[in-house]
A and B are shown apart, each in its own frame.
Chain A
Amino acid sequence: MTAAVYQPEAARRAGLRLSLILLLAPVVLWLGLLIILPHIQLLALSLKVKLGPRLYETGLTNYTEFFAESIYWSTLVRTTFISIGATALTLLIAFPVAYYIAKMIRGRRKNLLFVLALLPFWVSELIRTLGWIIILRETGLISRGLQWAGLIDQPVELLGNDIAIIVGLVYTSMLFMVVPLVTVLDSLDDSLVEAGYDLGGNGFAVLREIIIPHAMPGIVAGCIVVFMLSLGNILTPSLLGGKNSLWFTDQIFQKFIVRFNWEQGAAFGFLLLIVSSLMVWIGLKITRQSLASTMG
């Protein structure tokens, strides 16, 4: 804060320092007590090995156990791959929609369509998932619809499998792909696309050589967010994937809340954090962007 010109210099300096300290206090408390210290403590906890009641030693047992038990590491691998698949599918579905909103329509209709695309995401994820349960369940719309149409004669259960999880993940993350894509495609100059056609490119060449390279920052930003949200999701896999959804966040939940094995849970949590951060880092490296420029 700049102080008034006619204040004495020393008083002005002291005032500036005081206001700086006052402004720094909340952010230091927030990041220190809610983010940094808890994560250091989480790391320390994951390195604790329980020998008996109130008896611990430091070691990597919680991590080695993760790699020794195939159910643990295969769940993390599975979760990662399904999340990557869901992200790719979200991008494929969202891109034409974003392009349509950004380039094919103008004015009032454009704003309307954009708002319409965002609207469902004001609604809680829980409600959206309930909708998919009613659509996919054995007594649901698709099963009954197919029976009514005479295509099947037994009800089909479409819940409780990986496809249902992917359907839910794609649906629930759509917004976070559409918004950055529309933003980045909006900034693409129409004349560049026209020039591509004038130089003899067909639609596919223009898409590959002009539109996609221009949209890359938006594509990466969208993919990072969608991947993270999928990997960290616990609601959609446990409601749509059934009791044995084998989702890694669910295993963390089981360790912490159900089994009360916090040391192992902490190790699992850290592994999830590492996978998640690694993907974000790779995404940023590919496009040579920083976290600040992507978010801010």
Chain B
Amino acid sequence: MLTTIPQSRTFKFGYALYIFLFFVYLFAPLVVVGVFAFNDSQFPSLPWRGFTLDWFTSSSGRIGIFYDRGLIGSLGTSFKVAVAVTVLSLVVGTMNAFLMERARFPGKSILFTMMLWPLVIPGVILGVSILQFASTVANGLEDRFGIFLDFLRPGLPLVILGQFSFIVTIATLVIAARLRKFDITLEEAARDLGASSLGAIRTVTIPFLIPALIGAGVISFLMSFENFNTTLMLVGSEAPVTIRMFTQIRDGTTPVINALSLLMMLVMATLGFSLLFANRGDKEKK
């Protein structure tokens, strides 16, 4: 089975048809979600009752997404969380990358394997373990010292920590892969020209890492924005958009959720493509 090896027409046609059907299967749910954002009905389902923009722009009776305070507020919450997780993951990920690629110390390979653990622990377990650990610490501090630490109770700070606990692994891997390709003599040259150690890293190494930092940043942001499992266990009264959408879909929703989904898909597609083209440009430069 290669292009160079002759195959029967039926086989080739059958194979191509399979690939075509696969892509239909892949995109059908997304197209369906988008199309039903315009259905003039109370529910995101058939029958088709005609085209409407109500689920985007209506402000009375039906509430369109632009006027749905709850959903827009939850988008804002997710945005705050994602920014915090991204910044934390990039800073810690960069330091981890330097540690793994530059430093030599006993137990390094064990530490590296431990860094990968968060990727093989189910998100639900990460969530509950952090939830009960934070509560135990908070209770202990309250009972012994009368100190009240609200951020250890379910809420956004715990959500941020929970998501960070595994997203930072991915950021570390992406940044370390790029750092491995860095030519260390460039840093030495900078120091020979009078730069301090940190100065050389800031002016030579970090700029080299920028593409990886952007890539890791976008991935961290998206993973945080879309996280559900860990977030579900740690969320307090202020719900990020995935949690809010989940509750709304489970309990029956109007097509406003479809409208929101369509907008989110457009933003994701734009982000994804710009990252792709940024990478391509980067490859051509080399």
Binding site for B on A (CB under 8 A): 1-4, 15, 19-20, 22-24, 26-27, 30-31, 34-35, 37-39, 41-42, 45, 93, 96-97, 99-100, 103-106, 113, 115-117, 119-120, 122-135, 137, 139-141, 144, 171, 174, 190, 193-194, 197, 203, 206-207, 211, 228, 231-235, 238-239, 249, 252-253, 256-257, 262, 265-266, 269, 272-273, 276-277, 280, 290-292, 295-296
The CA-CA distance from A272 to B111 in the complex, in Å, is 24
> How many chain-B residues does the 8 Å CB contact rule pick out?
93
The yes or no answer to B129 lying at the interface (CB within 8 A) is yes
Q: How far is the CB of B258 from chain A (nearest CB, A)?
A: 7
Contact with A along B95-112 (1 / 0, CB 8 A): 110110011010001011
The CA-CA distance from A123 to B103 in the complex, in Å, is 38
The CA-CA distance from A193 to B2 in the complex, in Å, is 8
Say whether chain B's binding surface is mostly helix, strand, loop, or mixed. helix
Chain B residues numbered 79-127 whose CB sits less than 8 Å from any CB in chain A: 91-92, 95-96, 98-99, 102-103, 105, 109, 111-126
Contact check: which of B30, B113, B258 meets A120 at CB < 8 Å?
Answer: B30
Given A131-B32, A171-B29, A276-B120, are A104 and B228 also a contact pair (CB < 8 Å)?
Answer: no
Residue of A nearest to B168 (CB): A30
Q: How far is the CB of B3 from chain A (nearest CB, A)?
A: 6
The CA-CA distance from A118 to B119 in the complex, in Å, is 20
Say whether chain A's binding surface is mostly helix, strand, loop, or mixed. helix
The yes or no answer to B23 lying at the interface (CB within 8 A) is yes
Give every chain B residue within 8 A of A234 (Cβ-Cβ).
124, 228-229, 232
Given A134-B32, A135-B28, A140-B45, are A99 and B1 also a contact pair (CB < 8 Å)?
Answer: yes
Q: Count CB-based A-B contacts (< 8 Å).
A: 257
The yes or no answer to B278 lying at the interface (CB within 8 A) is no
The CA-CA distance from A295 to B232 in the complex, in Å, is 26
The CA-CA distance from A37 to B136 in the complex, in Å, is 11
Q: How far is the CB of B259 from chain A (nearest CB, A)?
A: 12
Q: How far is the CB of A247 from chain B (nearest CB, A)?
A: 10
Do the beta carbons of B15 and A41 come within 8 Å of each other? no
Contact check: which of B27, B45, B98, B120 meets A277 at CB < 8 Å?
Answer: B120
Give every chain A residue within 8 A of B161 (Cβ-Cβ).
34
Do the beta carbons of A144 and B46 come within 8 Å of each other? yes
Contact with A along B200-243 (1 / 0, CB 8 A): 01000000000000000000001001101100110000000010
Do the beta carbons of A115 and B276 come within 8 Å of each other? yes
Do the beta carbons of B116 and A233 come within 8 Å of each other? no
Do the beta carbons of B124 and A42 come within 8 Å of each other? no
Give every chain A residue within 8 A of B175 (Cβ-Cβ).
none
Given A34-B161, A120-B30, A291-B113, are A93 and B22 also a contact pair (CB < 8 Å)?
Answer: yes
Do the beta carbons of B22 and A124 come within 8 Å of each other? no
Do the beta carbons of A119 and B95 come within 8 Å of each other? no
Give every chain A residue within 8 A of B64 (Cβ-Cβ).
none
Contact check: which of B30, B92, B116, B257 meets A291 at CB < 8 Å?
Answer: B116
Do the beta carbons of A122 and B197 come within 8 Å of each other? no
Do the beta carbons of B197 and A3 come within 8 Å of each other? yes
The CA-CA distance from A56 to B159 in the complex, in Å, is 29
Given A1-B102, A99-B1, A104-B2, are A292 and B132 also a contact pair (CB < 8 Å)?
Answer: no
Find the residue from A30, A115, A233 having the highest chain B CB count within 10 A.
A30
